[in-house]
A and B are shown apart, each in its own frame.
Chain A
């Protein structure tokens, strides 16, 4: 039966607190207990940065509060992270409820509102729980300490005699002595700064966190009530469609908007390089855009998705050598078999189902931008810079985000909406078309890996020499027990020479680690096959890392893996990866149609050690998402292009995983109580390319050296 009442009201503790509907939100926080944030010691390196120039607006005391307890006893978490589908809006309140000893339903959460939430550099890197979780827990523990002290004073008893039960402070023996959190904070304004390190509840004592909680976004998402940026409609808002070039590197030569201007209801707006047609209805704006006549000088780029690999090797910087040890030449002398292989992978799109969307409105000199973004605070700075405003004159509000995967770390659409709203004098909605989404996407970069490696007579890996071009250093380290090794990384996210990539690249779920694991774990299998060893046994034979051995052994058990050297004809594959502090092993079974080259995945297993698991159901969802998304880049996803022009710019040609591709998925999260919570949103996708390539090899004895493993590539590899 439905857990909801007859009006389908969103129950307490569900959904978002939509702060814009509560102009009194700041008023709300003028009484009650606020726990403020103190930067350095709590945050550690690289997690949350110092607020840049403050958040402006609001009263100074409201800056940086990330927990509020009101007179009604309700707890509000104020979190700069955003809800992308990863479930942070469900799991973060679990942590607060846990530390404060209040029911989960008494906790609200506000996310991604730059006027209300403390600064946050962005929602990426599987950090929501890993790094923000401990901060929120400390804030909650601090609040509980304060409330206990206040209760002791009010009840005239020593603090040690008190305990908290569901938001009420109760005397341990004289239970008539009690006072609620709400009664304690009522009519008062209390501020606390987080400076010390309050004792945190031991993970083993968790009663709320560590258990599955229903997703707070569930009711809104299944009833169509969930608001995404493109669903926000300020009064008088117009849709904008922006005039765009046909190819990267094409330059506008002539522009004639006169035909569009004649259409009733259409406005043409220009702000320097930005030209847009505006209309109240999106489809009419689309039509008007079609009337704009623009000509361009063609792109100078001559690159294609086929020539890009040689180009990358030619243009990538000389690079760094982040890992080296032993003596390569000496290692090679010990080798009885030497392997020299090259692995390639194309550009992959983020392709979130929600295209980049933003709505901007200007009121009394202050710009509010509702944006589907992973980075509301950086977007606020970008908008301020683009409009020449001080930061306090810009507010970014992040409603539900329809998927990010790294692609919404860049939020150009928010700046576009703000510029056009300013220029037009009316609220403006910018919802990119799917074609714009592909055009401006910051793709997962194409990559080329060359690996030379060798094993000795004892089947030990004696040397490893890897050059990774394009994919950066995340997860590039070999994880095995190899005495003589060198890892060279040429090109990554920063410092690439201009023109190395013909369009934007950027972080894509576990940035670069997918390509790095694909090459490494393929090479390990190549060696295992030559050694005549089962690929799991070969890995264990060459693996010293006890944590990875445990995960691999758990995978063997969960999968029912029986050792057999490849190719065994069974179509089984294994691959390992480390990402965001989590150790992941994937196993797969595939069928390969030798006539068509089509790969059907029939079984997938993921085993992970991710430390303490805050919301097991959420972690399982993320893992399933990783494996399913991983099918895409492994089997089909690749952006085709020619001379700066994208050949794939919508889902008619760019293939995402579908129901018929998705096999049975098993997820195992190992108990790991002594390790703090690690990332859950990315690690399981990392081994996907290799686990499938290895399974294909096991099935048909043929190795595919390029992702995605399309039917044509499988057939070509069979012929080679």
Chain B
């Protein structure tokens, strides 16, 4: 047992648990943030992607102890001040999902890239998404959404 302190979606957060436990299940089961999804449990689908500091990370393969002192952003923390992020706007605009189960991970993967550099070209963002699976086949719309969002962010939208 250990108390792990980190910033979660902008709020200071402490959890007391076995630090080897997986971030995915601490988020979902202990902290009630169910927007981060379980799809494979072996870092090969992208459903559980969250952003740690500014890196996209698979929460199913990350020990909660590893986020000590770090900043964790989940899909629930992407919209801030009551406003959707340009990626969320663009996913809605292009209907870039069907069942929506991959959506959190897709947005978080793209979000990390654009967080690091809002001028990241869409093709680079999509490279990040290559390891994200979508069984519904929403790919072409996700490409459009990422392109729209990247253009908006390049133009200064946040």
Q: Which residues of A contact B (CB under 8 A)?
A: 1-8, 84-87, 214-215, 217-228, 230-231, 233, 239, 280-284, 351-355, 400-405, 431, 433-434, 617, 621-622, 624-629, 650-652, 656-660, 662, 664-665
In the complex, 14 of the A-B residue pairs with CB atoms within 8 angstroms, ordered by the A residue number, are A85-B97, A85-B99, A221-B97, A222-B84, A222-B91, A222-B92, A282-B38, A351-B135, A353-B133, A354-B101, A355-B38, A657-B139, A658-B131, A662-B140
A618 nearest in chain B by CB position: B95
Cβ-based interface call for B3 (8 A): no
Choose one: A4, A214, A651; the contact of B40 (CB below 8 Å): A651
Q: Nearest-CB distance from A72 to chain B (Å)?
A: 26
Q: A222-B92, A621-B141 are in contact. Are A217 and B100 (CB under 8 A)?
A: yes
Known: A85-B97, A355-B39, A658-B133. A224 touches B29 (CB 8 A): no
Top 9 A-B pairs, shortest CB-CB distance:
A224-B35, A628-B137, A85-B99, A85-B98, A402-B101, A221-B100, A224-B75, A6-B82, A625-B137
Point out the residues of chain A lying under 8 angstroms from B132, CB to CB. 659
CB of B47 within 8 Å of the partner chain: yes
B67 within 8 A of A: no
- Chain B residues closer than 8 Å to A224, beta-carbon distance: 33-36, 74-76, 104
Knowing A353-B39, A656-B135, the reply to whether A650 touches B44 (Cβ < 8 A) is: yes
* Chain A residue nearest in CB terms to B129: A659
Query: CA–CA, A627 to B136, complex, Å?
Result: 10
Judge whether B40 and A434 touch: CB under 8 Å.
yes
State which residues 106-158 of B face A: CB under 8 Å. 107, 126, 129-143
Contact B135 A353 (CB under 8 A): yes
Per the bound structure, the CA–CA distance linking A405 and B134 in Å amounts to 13
Contacts of A656 in B (CB 8 A): 133, 135
Partner of A659, one of B25, B82, B100, B143: B143
Q: Is the CB of B92 within 8 A of A219?
A: yes
Residues of chain B from 66 to 96 with CB closer than 8 A to chain A in the complex: 74-76, 78-79, 82-84, 87-89, 91-92, 95
Decide: A652 and B95 in contact? CB cutoff 8 A: no
Using A283-B21, A352-B135, A355-B38 as known contacts, say yes or no to A400 and B100 having CB atoms under 8 A apart. yes
A660 touches B130 (CB 8 A): yes
CB contact between A628 and one of B24, B95, B139 (< 8 Å): that residue: B139
Question: Do the beta carbons of A227 and B34 come within 8 Å of each other?
Answer: yes
Q: Can you name the residue of chain B whose Cβ is closest to the Cβ of A654?
A: B44
CB of B11 within 8 Å of the partner chain: no
State the CA gap A223–B103 with chains docked (Å). 9
In the complex, the chain A residue whose C-beta lies closest to that of B33 is A224
Residue among A5, A220, A284, A652 making CB contact with B42, cutoff 8 Å: A652
Q: Could you tell me the distance in whole angstroms from the C-beta of A617 to the nearest C-beta in chain B?
A: 6
Chain A residue nearest in CB terms to B157: A1
Of chain A, the residue at the smallest CB distance from B146 is: A659
Nearest-Cβ distance from residue B10 to partner chain A, whole angstroms:
15
CB pair A353–B42 under 8 Å, yes or no, is: no
Interface residues of B (CB under 8 A from A): 18, 21-22, 24-26, 28-30, 32-42, 44-45, 47, 74-76, 78-79, 82-84, 87-89, 91-92, 95, 97-104, 107, 126, 129-143
Q: Known: A86-B98, A353-B45. Contact between A231 and B139, CB under 8 A?
A: no
The answer on a CB contact under 8 Å between B99 and A353 is yes
B38 lies within 8 A of A431 (CB): yes
Closest to B74 in A: A224
B101 to chain A minimum Cβ distance, whole angstroms, is 3
* Of the residues B33, B84, B95, B101, contact of A617 by C-beta under 8 Å: B95
CB neighbours (8 Å) of B142 from chain A are: 659
Q: Flag if A629 contacts B137 (CB, 8 Å).
A: yes
> In the complex the two chains form, what is the Cα distance from A280 to B18 in whole Å?
14
Q: Which residue of A231, A281, A622, A629 has the most chain B CB atoms within 10 A of its CB atom? A: A281
Task: State A6–B82 Cα separation when bound (angstroms).
Answer: 4
Question: Measured between alpha carbons, how far is A231 from B41 in the docked complex, in Å?
Answer: 16
Select which of A403, A650, A662 is within 8 A of B98 by beta carbon: A403
Given known contacts A224-B34, A400-B100, A403-B136, is B44 in contact with A652 (CB within 8 Å)? yes
Rounded to whole angstroms, the CA-CA distance of A557 and B48 in the bound complex is 43
Q: Is the CB of A621 within 8 A of B92?
A: no
Residue of A nearest to B143 (CB): A659
In the complex, the chain B residue whose C-beta lies closest to that of A434 is B40
Bound: A3/B89 CA distance, A: 9
**Other contacts beyond A624-B139, A659-B142: 7, CB < 8 A:** A227-B34, A352-B135, A402-B100, A402-B101, A431-B38, A621-B138, A628-B137
Interface pair A223/B25, CB less than 8 Å apart? no
- Whole-angstrom distance between the alpha carbons of A2 and B100 in the complex? 19
Instruction: List the A residue with the shortest CB-CB distance to B60.
Output: A283
Min C-beta distance of B132 to chain A, whole Å: 8
A354 in contact with B79 given A657-B139, A659-B126 (CB within 8 Å): no
Q: How far is the CB of A367 from chain B (nearest CB, A)?
A: 22
**Quick one: closest B residue to A4, CB to CB?**
B84
**A223 in complex: contacting residue of B28, B29, B35, CB < 8 Å:** B35
Give Cα A220 to B75, complex, Å: 11
Q: Is the CB of A625 within 8 A of B88?
A: no
**Within the assembled complex, what's the spacing in Å between the Cα atoms of A85 and B99?**
4
CB pair B84 A2 closer than 8 Å: yes
A352 to B39, CA, bound (A): 9
CA distance A5 to B82 in the complex (A): 8
Task: Specify the chain B residue showing the minimal Cβ separation from A215.
Answer: B95
Tell whether A658 pairs with B35 under 8 Å between CB atoms, given A239-B29, A353-B45, A625-B136.
no
Residue of B nearest to A617 (CB): B95
Docked pose: A698 CA to B108 CA in angstroms: 41
| Cα A283 to Cα B29 with chains together (Å) | 9
Residues of B within 8 A of A220 (CB): 100
Alpha-carbon distance between A114 and B44 when the two chains are bound, in angstroms: 36
Contact call A85/B140, Cβ cutoff below 8 A: no
Q: Which residue of B lies closest to A6 (CB)?
A: B82
Cβ–Cβ < 8 Å partners of A405 in chain B: 135
Identify which of A219, A353, A657, A665 contacts B101 (C-beta below 8 A): A353
Q: How far is the CA of A351 from the CA of B75 in the complex (A)?
A: 23
Q: Are A403 and B30 in contact (CB under 8 A)?
A: no
Q: How many whole Å from B74's CB to the nearest CB in chain A?
A: 7
Question: Are A282 and B25 neighbours in the complex by a CB distance under 8 Å?
Answer: yes
Is B28 a contact of A282 with CB atoms below 8 Å?
Answer: yes
**Chain A hits for B34, CB < 8 A:** 224, 227, 230-231, 233
